[in-house]
Amino acid sequence: MRKLSLDAKAREHLEKAAASSTGRSAETLYGGQEHTLRQTLLALRAGTELAEHDSPGEATLLVLHGRVTLRSGEDSWEGTTGDLLAIPPARHSLHAPEDAAVLLTVAKHE
Which domains, from first to last, does the chain contain? 6-108 (2.60.120.10)
Percent of the chain whose predicted confidence (pLDDT) is above 70: 98
**9-16 average pLDDT score:** 97
Structure confidence by residue, pLDDT tens digits, 18-43 = 999 999 999 999 987 778 889 999 99
Give the confidence band of 10 by pLDDT, cuts at 50, 70, 90.
Answer: very high
Q: DSSP 3-state assignment of 34?
A: coil
pTM higher than the cut 0.75: yes
Cβ pair 40, 104 in contact under 8 A: yes
Q: CA separation (Å) from 81 to 33, 54, 56, 106? A: 28, 25, 24, 19
